[in-house]
Structure 1
Amino acid sequence: MEFRVLGPVEAWRGGERVALSGSKMHTVLATMLLAQERVVSDSRLSALLWGWEPPATASAQIYTYMSRLRKQLGEEVEIVRRPPGYVLRAPGAVVDLVEFRRRERDGRRALAERRFEEAADLLREALGQWRGTALANVTEHMLDAEPAPLEEERMLALESRLEADLELGRHEQVMAELTALVAEFPVRERLRAQLMTALYRCGRQADALHTYYEGRKVLAEQLGIDPGEALGSTYQAVLGGELGLGPRRGTPPAGRPVPSMLPATDGELVGRERELEALRGRLGQGGGAPRRILVTGMAGLGKTALAVRAAAESGGLFPDGLLFAELCGLDGAPRAPRAVLAQLLRALGESDHALPAGDLDELVRLYRARTAERRLLLVLDNVSGDRQLAPLLPAGDSAVLITSRSRLARVAGGDTLALPLLDDEASLELLAARAGRQRLDDDPDAADDLVAYCGGLPLALSIAGARLAARPHWTAARLAARLADPAARLAELSFGDLDLSRVLRSSVDPLPPAVHDVLAGLADPELGGEPFSARRAGEWLGLTEDAAENALETLVDTALLDLSGLDDQGRPQYRCHELVRLLAATLDGSGLPAVRAGR
């Protein structure tokens, strides 16, 4: 199968186009393809099909569209119901948007590494995937929401291809193209700077200066701003006669620091290959809209290790540097944004005396000014919430990779990666990487027990593996026996400065007292093992259903509780991880009613 969205939405099989009728069918297919195997909710489909006024039969109509798509696309495509929506999977299918992004990402990497001929070829191939305006035959509601970011991705790829051509001395060949593009997009400063470069190299210095003056006037009249660093530095280079062929434009100016703040990666990243590829792909996309990518999940899942590895492997796409900041102190308390901003600005070359004293707004303005014309990757680790995050978001074409135990309003759902627990196979692989495979192969039953006791949590597996590695005289069975007692398990999962109980408690300590007490009540095996509803929890804990649900949702928000689908009446079901339940057993639930149902 072949799918196309970079132009009219189409599906092709065996060289023949699949007949799809009407803008709504094309909208449903396009929405599913753009989600890239993520669930598309009914509410989003409804908004893209009918806008603010969906019909009363919207759900039934969506169901009908999905049934038609299944029939028309055939067995090569799987469309399945996954509450709260649908997901499309088409293994082996070619999607023009995926092909465009892959070639564009490789082209930008080649450009950053000064492989200009390869970059130009790859970016030209990427742009060749476009057949006109993206999503040309979908509903007006989808046209209002989706094409602009895709068109911005195309423009960024085009600008990068033109940059490669200019570095290869093709200024005469791209002159006419750049002139037409600047006329069509007069406020895109990078295009205007590229036209000035081409004009200058063709011996037309006066025309290059006129192009700058014209751009300065357009920016002032249409946007009320002055030219940015890219256009301003090109103007100064024209005046100084510095635009001959030489070092690639866009590399950091001499003397400007290129920070590299990432912590060292911790050995092999096990069981996260798919998530790592997804992060690398998103970091390489560009696309105009700010790249804010969130990795979320419970404490101990390895969010930081994944983010650092993805950042390190994507470093070539960010020639102006890699920044890293830990957003919680050693005591687990959130760090003040001002302290973090000062740290980042120092890494960007600011001296202490240049930092505004006591004024957060001034510090934010300086930070935005220093990041506006740079292509940086910023990793913000262990963000506590949106209020802490907001001042730290950079300006310009930088990307932000965030880890947090909570979902954040400032990051779109499509850019949120909820990290799952490791399955048994990956858990065993991680344990073997830390402890040595031979010791586990010697007693596979004990190895399976260790995997079960760690519950798919990478931190627990790493601690168990480290303990075995540090005690070569221990067998896997001996450690498994020590972990078998639930009352002692958390204490056993501690080694050196790694302490699972301390890490989990850092999520518990900030909870409001009422929520803290509900978590303590979940320690009871009556609720801890199987999924349960808010009604059942309320009955057990002596709370109203609403009060129980509010507390349970707070625990979900802080990644101390998982959602486990819906019951037969459509109510959410919750599940408590075994290690969290063991921690809850150590808490004081003194605020709960004295008498619980069933006692």
Structure 2
Amino acid sequence: MEFRLLGPVEARDGARRIAVSGTMMHTVLAALLLARGRVVSDGRLSELLWGWDPPATWNAQIYTYISRLRKLLGPKVDLVRRQPGYLLVADAARVDVVEFGRLERLGRRAMEERRWTQAAETLRQALDLWQGPALADVTPHLAEAELPQLEEERMSALEHRIEADLALGRHGQLTSELARLVGEFPVRERLRAQLMAALYRCGRQAEALRTFHEGREVLAEELGVGPGPDLTTAYQSLLSGELDNLPQPAPSLTSAVPAVSAPPVMIPPLPADFIGREREFDVLCRRLTSKEANGRAAFQPRRLLISGMPGVGKTALALRVAHAVADQFPDGLLYVQLRSDDGTVADCGEVLVTLLRALGATSENVLAPNGELARTEELVRRYRTRTAGRKLLILLDDAANELQLDPLLPDTTDSAVLVTSRNRLSAVPGSWTVALDPMETGESLDLLSVIAGGDRISAEPEAAHAVVEACGKLPLALRAAAARLAARPHWQMTRLARRLADPASRIEELRVSTLDVRQILSAALRQRPLSERDLICRLAVCAAGEFTAMAAAVLLRLPENAAEEFLERLVEASLLEAHGIDATGAPCYCFHPLLRLTAASLEDFPAEGELLRAG
């Protein structure tokens, strides 16, 4: 299936043109395609079809148009009703707008790396996708909303292609094309500067100077402004005689694009001792790259979530994935931590400023006219503008909730977002989640072996298994135990196993340097609302194994429904594990052993009387 929007709106199934007829049908199809995997609301469709004066039956008419499109497009395309509107899903389809964007990015990257021939050819392929004015047969309302951005993207690609041709010394072939384009777009200074370069390199210096003076007059008459940096730099280069070495490319006249800095790479290095998680790693990598690798249209936003309890290795897995797919994201790898070590949630404005500066924004770009930091809404707008059309991988580490994430998600599908969170963020639009459990026994032994030494594991296999079980197969605890062994080569594995065998002191044994299991787990517990903390403590002290909501209700003196809701909130926060059902069909729950020991050891949790006074 193929869709064309860069010209008349068309749908094709192989060589067969699908007979989508009428301006309204074309508009609905184009609006759904341009949304690129996002829901288009009924209200938005109404605006694009009829503007501010819809008919009384607008809702029924939209339903009719969608029904007709379903019949025409067939089973290869899903038109899904999803509140508050409709969603088009066609993963295997080719959309010329998406393909244009992909080729344009490849061409721009080739230019940044000074691969001029490849850049010119790739950008020429992108421009060849245009079959005339885009969205040629849609309503004026849709054209007004979408056409300016599409036309600007086309002109930018055209200017980049001319830039590459100039760098290749093709100025003689470009003068007539540039003269026509300057006549058509007289206030586009970059095109005029490129025409000046081509004329000068053809030995036509007087015409190049006249082109500048004509441009200055046009800008003054039509816009009331003087020449900008592109024209001014070109003019000064002509006057100073800096182009005497032609026909070598002259940066001042052939480089209308400002120097492009290296793409930002903010992600931390990969832990050298990363072990396991092969299945999750393969799935996440495929989800991030498969659509692009297969040349299919990327309709769905790539928003991948990694959830799990504290210390289970979410960030380590995310970093491994990010490093593995880095070459698929040529515009940069962004990283930001959304919570501090003590659990404090990062300020949204500060996070946006960090990301904007990584994307090239200056201090002035993040300030309001009064010199203060711009409002969050304005920072979000600038962030989404800078991420649009760029192929970025954005790693958002330790997200607190969906509200914190929403401003940080790009509007387009060009970028991918990888999120880690101990909470199960099921309300993030278009997301797909990998839930991490503690490691398997084999992976746990491998992790011990990598850090502490394989010979110690093989010399005392039973003690090694005992250490793994005492750590609950939690990667954070296993690293702490292995680091203790590595720092004490004179210890036998059996000695550490004995020290970990006592539950009363186990949590204190799992601390070495910056690896402190108790500190990290207790920080997660302290982030729960005050009204829940005493309940967690009492539950952890008394519930050594699996238990049901009814048992918890008796222990906590709560109604059973209230107890079950409380337990499910802990499951969603990865502080409790759901373990199947009992003989009566009731869900069973249990704490991870180390989380239970941590909760039971926190003496400064408020007592019940204090909770009553706080309320």
Which of 376, 386, 389 does residue 376 from structure 2 map onto? 386
* 1:233-267 deviations in Å (ceiling 9; x for gaps): 3333222333432376549999x986966455427
1:136 equivalent in alignment to 2:129:
no
The answer to whether the 8 Å contact 1:6/1:130 transfers is yes
Structure 1 residues 421 and 250: CA distance shift in structure 2, 3 A:
farther
1:127-276 to structure 2, matched below 5 A, reads 127-219=127-219, 227-243=227-243, 244=246, 245-246=248-249, 249-250=254-255, 262-266=266-270, 270-274=282-286, 276=288
The answer to whether the 8 Å contact 1:47/1:141 transfers is yes
1:166 shift after superposition: 0.6
1:540 equivalent in alignment to 2:552:
no
Distance 1:90 1:214 in 2: 49
1:246 maps to a residue whose letter is: P
2:364 maps to a residue whose letter is: R
Distance 2:288 2:305 in 1: 14
Distance 2:609 2:224 in 1: 57
1:313 equivalent in alignment to 2:311:
no
1:229 shift after superposition: 3.8
The answer to whether the 8 Å contact 2:189/2:231 transfers is yes
Which of 416, 422, 430 does residue 434 from structure 2 map onto? 422
Distance 1:22 1:343 in 2: 44
* 1:350-405 deviations in Å (ceiling 9; x for gaps): xxxxxxxxxxx9x823889xxxxxxxxxxxxxxxx938957996998996857373
Q: Which has the larger radius of gyration?
A: 2
Structure 1 residues 432 and 10: CA distance shift in structure 2, 3 A:
farther
Which residue pairs with 1:407 in the alignment? Answer: 405
Distance 1:44 1:488 in 2: 61
Distance 1:309 1:412 in 2: 21
Structure 1 residues 56 and 98: CA distance shift in structure 2, 3 A:
same
2:270 maps to a residue whose letter is: D
**Which stretch of structure 1 is more off in the superposition, 33-42 or 115-124?**
33-42
Structure 1 residues 182 and 109: CA distance shift in structure 2, 3 A:
same
* 1:533-566 deviations in Å (ceiling 9; x for gaps): xxxx9x839x9xxxx9xxx9xx9xxx969xxxxx
1:97 shift after superposition: 1.8
Structure 1 residues 71 and 168: CA distance shift in structure 2, 3 A:
same
**Which stretch of structure 1 is more off in the superposition, 585-594 or 108-117?**
585-594
Structure 1 residues 27 and 237: CA distance shift in structure 2, 3 A:
same
1:45 shift after superposition: 3.5
1:105 shift after superposition: 2.2
* 1:499-523 deviations in Å (ceiling 9; x for gaps): 7886788788789978999999999
Distance 1:216 1:522 in 2: 77
Structure 1 residues 180 and 325: CA distance shift in structure 2, 3 A:
farther
Distance 1:489 1:140 in 2: 70
Instruction: Structure 2: state its 5+ residue gaps.
Output: 275-280, 368-374, 420-431, 455-460, 487-491, 551-558, 575-588
1:43 shift after superposition: 4.5
2:74 maps to a residue whose letter is: G
The answer to whether the 8 Å contact 2:510/2:516 transfers is yes
* 1:257-284 deviations in Å (ceiling 9; x for gaps): 8696645542796543255449999xxx
Which residue pairs with 1:30 in the alignment? Answer: 30
Question: How well do the aligned residues superpose, as a CA RMSD in angstroms?
Answer: 6.4
The answer to whether the 8 Å contact 2:81/2:87 transfers is yes
Which residue pairs with 2:425 in the alignment? Answer: none
**Which stretch of structure 1 is more off in the superposition, 92-101 or 335-344?**
335-344
1:409-488 to structure 2, matched below 5 A, reads 409=407, 413-414=411-412, 417=417, 419=419, 420-422=432-434, 435=447
1:283-302 to structure 2, matched below 5 A, reads 302=315
1:158 shift after superposition: 0.9
- Secondary structure of the 2:192 match is helix
1:495-510 to structure 2, matched below 5 A, reads 497=514
1:161 shift after superposition: 0.8
Distance 2:481 2:530 in 1: 35
1:590 shift after superposition: 7.3
- Secondary structure of the 2:3 match is strand
Distance 1:490 1:62 in 2: 61
The answer to whether the 8 Å contact 2:380/2:407 transfers is no
Distance 2:609 2:45 in 1: 43
The answer to whether the 8 Å contact 2:285/2:321 transfers is no
- Secondary structure of the 1:407 match is helix
1:11 shift after superposition: 0.7
Which residue pairs with 1:364 in the alignment? Answer: 363
2:102 maps to a residue whose letter is: R
Distance 2:30 2:590 in 1: 37
1:197 shift after superposition: 1.3
**Which stretch of structure 1 is more off in the superposition, 269-278 or 494-503?**
494-503
Distance 1:589 1:25 in 2: 65
Distance 1:174 1:251 in 2: 15
* 1:135-157 deviations in Å (ceiling 9; x for gaps): 22223332222222222221121
Structure 1 residues 84 and 512: CA distance shift in structure 2, 3 A:
farther
Structure 1 residues 468 and 167: CA distance shift in structure 2, 3 A:
same
Instruction: Structure 1: state its 5+ residue gaps.
Output: 286-292, 349-360, 369-384, 455-459, 529-536, 562-575
Distance 1:489 1:55 in 2: 71
The answer to whether the 8 Å contact 2:46/2:54 transfers is yes
Distance 2:438 2:174 in 1: 51
2:405 maps to a residue whose letter is: R
Structure 1 residues 11 and 118: CA distance shift in structure 2, 3 A:
same
1:13 equivalent in alignment to 2:13:
yes
1:10 shift after superposition: 0.9
1:16 maps to a residue whose letter is: R
1:113-124 to structure 2, matched below 5 A, reads 113-124=113-124
Distance 2:142 2:133 in 1: 13
Which residue pairs with 1:533 in the alignment? Answer: none
* 1:415-454 deviations in Å (ceiling 9; x for gaps): 68474432689998x9699849999xx9xxx9xx99xx99
Which residue pairs with 2:556 in the alignment? Answer: none
1:273 maps to a residue whose letter is: C
Structure 1 residues 414 and 21: CA distance shift in structure 2, 3 A:
same
Distance 1:346 1:98 in 2: 26
Structure 1 residues 170 and 560: CA distance shift in structure 2, 3 A:
farther
**Which stretch of structure 1 is more off in the superposition, 79-88 or 508-517?**
508-517
The answer to whether the 8 Å contact 1:295/1:403 transfers is no
The answer to whether the 8 Å contact 1:507/1:560 transfers is no
The answer to whether the 8 Å contact 1:163/1:194 transfers is yes
1:66-105 to structure 2, matched below 5 A, reads 66-105=66-105
Distance 1:81 1:464 in 2: 47
Distance 2:55 2:505 in 1: 57
Distance 2:213 2:539 in 1: 68
